[in-house]
Chain A
Amino acid sequence: AQKVTQAQTEISVVEKEDVTLDCVYETRDTTYYLFWYKQPPSGELVFLIRRNSFDEQNEISGRYSWNFQKSTSSFNFTITASQVVDSAVYFCALSEAWDDKIIFGKGTRLHILP
């Protein structure tokens, strides 16, 4: 069965620092999809990125970047020059092809201190 581990329960950094959120996954499938979601203090869940298992290119979107490494089964998320608005809970999730479950990690609560 698939599994997602976010070992960092809570992280605090000072504004403008870079921060990396770790995500390690387990799957026996060769085809799968990885996701990151953000949950700000207001409570809604916001999609950030989807990556399929055949695309190991790193992705950059503004201050956000994602590092996908199949060799270590990791899909880490880095925020560069963090801002207070980045304070949120971030979830990593995994979906295996031919299985219709999307399984989430327990999330990492990120505090950006002014």
Chain B
Amino acid sequence: NAGVTQTPKFQVLKTGQSMTLQCAQDMNHEYMSWYRQDPGMGLRLIHYSVGAGITDQGEVPNGYNVSRSTTEDFPLRLLSAAPSQTSVYFCASSSTSSGGVTGELFFGEGSRLTVL
């Protein structure tokens, strides 16, 4: 059972570079999301998706783009990296119901990004 797979696990970028964090899940979950974790800030929601072709902004969306072309994949793009985007990024997926996201979140192992 792969669950939620994130790549890469570590990445160092220079300011202004672009990159994509990949996230894939094999649980047929409609809901996927990206969080960033910074010391003392907890987990903050960047973007989320309730199904293929549907994405929406979370708490801290600026500087990040997402797309959802398939149920399985939800990549996170940094168009022009900034030092403030140095963080640990977590992808998560969940089942949904008519009452919203009611299931537990299944998290990937995280991707540690450093922007110099």
Query: Residues on A close to B: CB < 8 A?
Result: 6, 9, 31, 33, 35, 37, 43-45, 47, 50, 52, 91, 93, 95-107
Which secondary structure characterizes the binding site on chain B? strand
In whole angstroms, how far apart are the Cα atoms of A34 and B77 in the complex? 30
Known pairs A45-B90, A106-B42; A33 contacts B102 (CB<8 A): yes
Partner of B101, one of A43, A100, A105, A107: A100
Which of A6, A9, A100, A105 sits near B100, CB closer than 8 Å? A100
Q: Which residues of B contact A (CB under 8 A)?
A: 31, 33, 35, 40-45, 48, 50, 56, 58-59, 88, 90, 92, 94, 96, 99-107, 109-110
- The answer, among B33, B44, B100, for a CB contact under 8 Å with A98, is B100
A44 touches B107 (CB 8 A): yes
Could you tell me the distance between the alpha carbons of A106 and B59 in the complex, rounded to whole angstroms?
13
Q: How far is the CA of A62 from the CA of B64 in the complex (A)?
A: 41
Q: A35-B104, A47-B104 are in contact. Are A104 and B99 (CB under 8 A)?
A: no
Contact status of A95 and B104, CB under 8 A, knowing A104-B42, A104-B44: no
